[in-house]
C-alpha cells in the first residue's frame, strides 16, 4: 500500500537502544558472579573475549548519562542470572542484585525506561553441568531466579522480556560458542531443550500475572519474513516451511499456548518429538504474553530443498551458522537487496512485511528490541566516527516502521542494537553496532573511552523530533 501521507509516531513511542549483559558488562568474575556457558564455551580465538567486553559494569553511570544525552526514552539490557543467584536456590548474591538496582535507578533518575531481558544466552555453567536446558529441573531454577527478579525489581520495571532469541539458541546452537567437551546437542535434544525453555518462559509470564505486578511481559524472538526465490510453487512451500519452523513455531507456543500443526508434523516425522507431560499444555496456555518483542536484522530468501545432501551450507561470511535443511528448504540469494560488510542482507521493506505478518497473526503490541548495522567503524584524523552507512540503514528501517504504523500495526518502540559498541558473539569487537564508540580493539583494551559517533547526533535528532525529517 502506498499512502498519500504517513502517520506520525505515537507520542509515547519508546525510542531506545539495546545491549546484553555478557556482551557489554565485562567484570566476568567480579563481586560473586558465577561462570556462565558463555564464559566456559570455546569462542573464536582471533577476536575479543567477554572478560572485559565494554566494561559497562564499571562505566554504567557514564554510559547512562550518555544515553540521556542521546535522548533515549528506553534502554534494554539483560540481567546476568549468574550475578543474581548462587549455586543453590536459597543462595542469592546481594552484590549482583545491588548492581542492577543501581542500573535501573540510574535509568529512572535520567528519565529512561529500563527494559529488562531475563535471559540472553548466558545459562549458569553449574546448571549446564547438570544437563542445562535438557534437564527439566532447570525450569525450576529459572523460576527461582525470576522470582528474585520480580521481588527485587518488580515495582520498577514496566517491560520484561523473557528469553532472548530462543529460536537462535535452538536452531543455531553454535552461534553462542561451542561446548569445551563433547559436541553440540542432537536435534532431538535441541527440541527437548526447546520445550523446557517454552515451559520456563510460560511459568515466568504466569508468575508475573499472578503477582499482579505493574508492567508487561513478553518473549523476544528473532523474526523475519521469508521470500520464495522464484514463483515456482515448490519454492513457496519451502519458504512457508522455514518461516513456520524458524519463527511461528516458537511464537505460536508462546502466544497461543500450543504447538503449531506443521511443527508437530515435522517433529513427529523426523522422530524428534520431545517428551511432553500431560500438564505441560496447561502451563503453556497459562502463560500468555502481553506483547511480542522481535529482533529483526534481515530477510531470508528460500528455494525448494533438493534433498540430495546438498541443502545445508554456511551463512555468507559466517562458518558457525549453517542454513538449509534436507527436505525443508535451501538458502537462496536475493538480487534485490544490499548487504552489510559482514554479508547480512539489508531489507527495510522486509521489516514492514515482518511486522504486518506478526500483527496479522496475534494482534498484540510489538516492540522491536534489536535491529542494526554491524561494521568495522574507525576514528578519522579529526577524531570522528563517520558511520554514514549505519545512519542510512537505521533511517530506512525507521521509515519502514512508520509505514507499518500507517498500515495499522501497533508498534510500541524501537530499540536498535546497540546502545554502545559491544562484543559481537563470535565476530568480536571489530563488528560494531553502537551509537557510541568504545576505544578498544579485539586484542588491545586501550582506554575504553566512549566517543559519540555521527549516528549518535543523528539519532538524537530523530528522537527529539519524534521521527525522521
Ligand atoms: C542477536 C543477538 C545479539 C547480537 C546481535 C548481533 O542475534 O541477540 O546478542 O549479538 O544478534 O549479532 P552479531 O553480534 O553476531 O553480529
**Among protein residues, the one whose CA lies closest to atom 12 of ligand 1:** 424
Query: What is the SS3 string spanning the chain?
Result: CCCCCCCCCCCCCEEEEECCHHHHCCCCCCCCCCCEHHHHCECCCCCCCCCCCCCHHHHHHHHHHHHHHHCCCEEEEECCHHHHECCCCCCECHHHHHHHHHHHHHHHHCCCEEEEEEECCCCEHHHHCCCHHHCCHHHHHHHHHHHHHHHHHCCCCCEEEEEECHHHHHHCHHHHCECCCCCCCCHHHHHHHHHHHHHHHHHHHHHHHHCCCCCEEEEEEECCCEEECCCCHHHHHHHHHHHHHHHHHHHHHHHHCCCCHHHHHHHHHCCCCCCCCCCHHHHHHCCCCCCEEEECCCCEEEECCCCCCCCCEEECCEEEEEECECCCEEEECCCCCEECCCCCEECHHHHHHHHHHHHHHHCCCEEEEECCCCECCCCCCCCCCCCHHHHHHHHHHHHHHHHHHHHCCCEEEECCECCECCCECCCECCCECCCEEECCCCCCCCCCCEEECHHHHHHHHHHHCCCCC
Task: Report d(CA 260, CA 245) in Å as an integer.
Answer: 9
Q: Tens place of pLDDT for every residue, the chain, 469 residues?
A: 999 999 999 999 999 999 999 999 999 999 999 999 999 998 888 888 899 999 999 999 999 999 999 999 999 999 999 999 999 989 999 999 999 999 999 999 999 999 999 999 999 999 999 999 999 999 999 999 999 999 999 999 999 999 999 999 999 988 888 888 778 999 999 999 999 999 999 999 999 999 999 999 999 999 999 999 999 999 999 999 999 999 999 999 999 999 999 999 999 999 999 999 999 999 999 999 999 999 999 999 999 999 999 999 887 767 778 899 999 999 999 999 999 999 999 999 999 999 999 999 999 999 999 999 999 999 999 999 999 999 999 999 999 999 999 999 999 999 999 999 999 988 899 999 999 999 999 999 999 999 999 999 999 999 999 999 8
Does the beta carbon of 295 lie inside 6 Å of ligand 1?
A: yes
Q: Which three cell numbers stand for residue 315?
A: 551463512
Does the beta carbon of 20 lie inside 6 Å of ligand 1?
A: yes
Quick check: is 278 in a domain?
A: no
* Whole-number pLDDT of residue 131: 95
Task: Report d(CA 102, CA 218) in Å as an integer.
Answer: 24
Strand bridging mode 450-452 / 436-438: antiparallel
Quick check: is 116 in a domain?
A: yes
Q: How many domains does the chain have?
A: 1
Quick check: is 166 in a domain?
A: yes
188 Cα to the center of ligand 1, angstroms? 25
* Whole-number pLDDT of residue 317: 66
Domain CATH code at residue 208: 3.20.20.80
Quick check: is 264 in a domain?
A: no
Q: Is residue 177 classed exposed, middle or buried when 0-12, 13-18 and 19+ CB atoms within 10 A define those classes?
A: buried
Quick check: is 285 in a domain?
A: no
- Which residues have a Cβ under 8 Å from the Cβ of 346 and sit 6 or more positions away? 298, 337, 338, 339, 340, 373, 393, 396
Quick check: is 439 in a domain?
A: yes
Quick check: is 249 in a domain?
A: no
Task: Report d(CA 113, CA 133) in Å as an integer.
Answer: 31
pTM: 0.98
**Among protein residues, the one whose CA lies closest to atom 13 of ligand 1:** 424
Q: Which three cell numbers stand for residue 412?
A: 510500541
Quick check: is 435 in a domain?
A: yes
24, 53, 370: which to mutate for ligand 1, most atoms within 8 A of CB? 370
343 Cα to the center of ligand 1, angstroms? 14
* Whole-number pLDDT of residue 282: 97
* Whole-number pLDDT of residue 322: 86
417, 426, 429, 432: which to mutate for ligand 1, most atoms within 8 A of CB? 417
Asked if residues 379 and 453 have their Cβ atoms less than 8 Å apart, the reply is no
Q: Which domain range does residue 459 map to?
A: 14-226+339-464
Amino acid at each position: 500500500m502506498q499512502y498519500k501521507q504517513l502517520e506520525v509516531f505515537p507520542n509515547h513511542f519508546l525510542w531506545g537502544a539495546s545491549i546484553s549483559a555478557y556482551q557489554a558488562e565485562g567484570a566476568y568474575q567480579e563481586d560473586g558472579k558465577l561462570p556462565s556457558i558463555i564464559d566456559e564455551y570455546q569462542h573464536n580465538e582471533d577476536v575479543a573475549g567477554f572478560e572485559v567486553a565494554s566494561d559497562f559494569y564499571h562505566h554504567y553511570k557514564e554510559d547512562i548519562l550518555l544515553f540521556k544525552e542521546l535522548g533515549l526514552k528506553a534502554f534494554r539490557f539483560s540481567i546476568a542470572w549468574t550475578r543474581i543467584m548462587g549455586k543453590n536456590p536459597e543462595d542469592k548474591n546481594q552484590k549482583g542484585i545491588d548492581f542492577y538496582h543501581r542500573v535501573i535507578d540510574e535509568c529512572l533518575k535520567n528519565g529512561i525506561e529500563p527494559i529488562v531481558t531475563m535471559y540472553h544466552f548466558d545459562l549458569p555453567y553449574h546448571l549446564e553441568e547438570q544437563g542445562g536446558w535438557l534437564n527439566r529441573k532447570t525450569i525450576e531454577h529459572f523460576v527461582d531466579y525470576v522470582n528474585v527478579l520480580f521481588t527485587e525489581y518488580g515495582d520498577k520495571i514496566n517491560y520484561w522480556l523473557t528469553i532472548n532469541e530462543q529460536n537462535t539458541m535452538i536452531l543455531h546452537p553454535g552461534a553462542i560458542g561451542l561446548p569445551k567437551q563433547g559436541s553440540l546437542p542432537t536435534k532431538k535434544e535441541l527440541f527437548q531443550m526447546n520445550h523446557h525453555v517454552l515451559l520456563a518462559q510460560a511459568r515466568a509470564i504466569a508468575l508475573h500475572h499472578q503477582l499482579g505486578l505493574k508492567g508487561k511481559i513478553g518473549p523476544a524472538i528473532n523474526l523475519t519474513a521469508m521470500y520464495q526465490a522464484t514463483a515456482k510453487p515448490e519454492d513457496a512451500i519451502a519458504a512457508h516451511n522455514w518461516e513456520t519452523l524458524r519463527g511461528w513455531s516458537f511464537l505460536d507456543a508462546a502466544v497461543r499456548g500450543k504447538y503449531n500443526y506443521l511443527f508437530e508434523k515435522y517433529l513427529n516425522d523426523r522422530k524428534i518429538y520431545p517428551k511432553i507431560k500431560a500438564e505441560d499444555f496447561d502451563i503453556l496456555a497459562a502463560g500468555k504474553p502481553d506483547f511480542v518483542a522481535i529482533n529483526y536484522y534481515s530477510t531470508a530468501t528460500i528455494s525448494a530443498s533438493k534433498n540430495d545432501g546438498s541443502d545445508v551450507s554456511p551463512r555468507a561470511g559466517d562458518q558457525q551458522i549453517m542454513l538449509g535443511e534436507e527436505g525443508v528448504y535451501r538458502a537462496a540469494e536475493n538480487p534485490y537487496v544490499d548487504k552489510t560488510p559482514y554479508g547480512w542482507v539489508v531489507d527495510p521493506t522486509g521489516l514492514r512485511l515482518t511486522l504486518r505478518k506478526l500483527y496479522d497473526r496475534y494482534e498484540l503490541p510489538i516492540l522491536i528490541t534489536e535491529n542494526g548495522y554491524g561494521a568495522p567503524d574507525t576514528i578519522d584524523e579529526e577524531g570522528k566516527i563517520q558511520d554514514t552507512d549505519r545512519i542510512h540503514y537505521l533511517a530506512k528501517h525507521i521509515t519502514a516502521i512508520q509505514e507499518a504504523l500507517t498500515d495499522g500495526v501497533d508498534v510500541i518502540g524501537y530499540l536498535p542494537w546497540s546502545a554502545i559498541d559491544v562484543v559481537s558473539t563470535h565476530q568480536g569487537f571489530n563488528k560494531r553496532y553502537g551509537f557510541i564508540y568504545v576505544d578498544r580493539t579485539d586484542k588491545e583494551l586501550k582506554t575504553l573511552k566512549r566517543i559519540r559517533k555521527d549516528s549518535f547526533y543523528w539519532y538524537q535528532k530523530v528522537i527529539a523530533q519524534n521521527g525522521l525529517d
